Amino acid sequence: MAEEHSGTTNLHNYRVARGERVRRAFAALSKRCPGCSSLIPYEKRRYDHCSQSCATTAYQRSNPQPTKRSACGFCGEPCSRPGNIYCSTRCTGLASAAKTSKTLETAMATTGVLVGSVNVVKRFLLKQRGHSCSICGLSRWNFMGNDVLIPLVLDHENGNSDDWRVKNLRLVCGICDMLLPTYKGKNRGHGRFSRRQRYTDGKSH
């Protein structure tokens, strides 16, 4: 036991002495922070700077941020912060909508098929055809004494919601939609392929 304890003590003393030698060798190097010129302590010997603050300052100096405010890519007004492409969230949304509209216009002229979410396609058709029902022609109605725009829904004329051809899409009011043979349960067996397959397999939904 005495020999084992003596060996452990010697190993500990060796590690302490080696640590001291390493510390003295590091101190002799006089490694300094390039930001504030202060000596870097041994505990931070693996870092180039003495603190996070100095490291951030050095990074900002070597990678300067743009200071000139550019014009908004949509409305042309100066942006609120340097480096921004658009001046506001509103302009960002409008620019995105304009880009989507241009894409849909190209698709309509080439393939005749509109690809996108229901809301995107609906907004595009409202812009192209105006706010009016394709069946009754109404665009406004009196709601509780107020003259308001009539709500419109995007309808697939043949009842197949997978058919996004332009000629198969129309905007109809809620009343006309309920009277159509493709409204909800009346369209059973003529909807999207996956739903038709479930009906074929004997499933009720």
Give the pLDDT score at 204. Answer: 61
Do 93 and 120 fall within a single domain?
no
- Lowest-confidence pick of 2-6, 47-51, 117-121: 2-6
Concatenate the DSSP letters of all residues of 54-85 into one string: HHHHHHHHHSPPP-SPPBPTTT-PBPSSTT-S
Do 152 and 131 fall within a single domain?
yes
Do 105 and 146 fall within a single domain?
no
Does a structural domain hold residue 89? yes
Give the pLDDT score at 197. Answer: 67
For residue 192, name the pLDDT band (cuts at 50, 70, 90).
low
Give the pLDDT score at 91. Answer: 92
- Which one, of 136, 110, 128, lies nearest residue 169 by Cα? 128
Does a structural domain hold residue 10? no
- Which one, of 178, 190, 182, lies nearest residue 136 by Cα? 178
Q: pTM higher than 0.75, yes or no?
A: no
Residue 1 has pLDDT above 60, yes or no: no
Question: What would the two tokens of residue 134 be?
Answer: 């394709």
- Which one, of 43, 12, 47, lies nearest residue 33 by Cα? 47
Percent of the chain with pLDDT over 70: 89
For residue 139, name the pLDDT band (cuts at 50, 70, 90).
very high
Q: Are strands 140-143 and 152-156 parallel, antiparallel or unpaired?
A: unpaired
Does a structural domain hold residue 153? yes
Do 98 and 138 fall within a single domain?
no
Question: What would the two tokens of residue 96 be?
Answer: 């995105």
Does a structural domain hold residue 26? no
Decide if 171 contacts 126 (C-beta within 8 A): yes
Quote the Cα angle for 168-172-176, to 5°: 115
Do 134 and 75 fall within a single domain?
no
> Looking at the 3D structure of the chain, how many domains does it have?
3
Residue 51 has pLDDT above 80, yes or no: yes
Do 126 and 86 fall within a single domain?
no
Residue 205 has pLDDT above 60, yes or no: no
Domain range holding 56?
36-65
What mean pLDDT is reported for the chain? 84
Do 57 and 70 fall within a single domain?
no
Q: Domain boundary at 76, 95, 110, which? A: 110
Decide if 169 contacts 125 (C-beta within 8 A): yes
Does a structural domain hold residue 29? no
Do 60 and 70 fall within a single domain?
no
Give the pLDDT score at 199. Answer: 65
Do 164 and 94 fall within a single domain?
no
Decide if 79 contacts 85 (C-beta within 8 A): yes
Q: Domain boundary at 110, 142, 170, which? A: 110
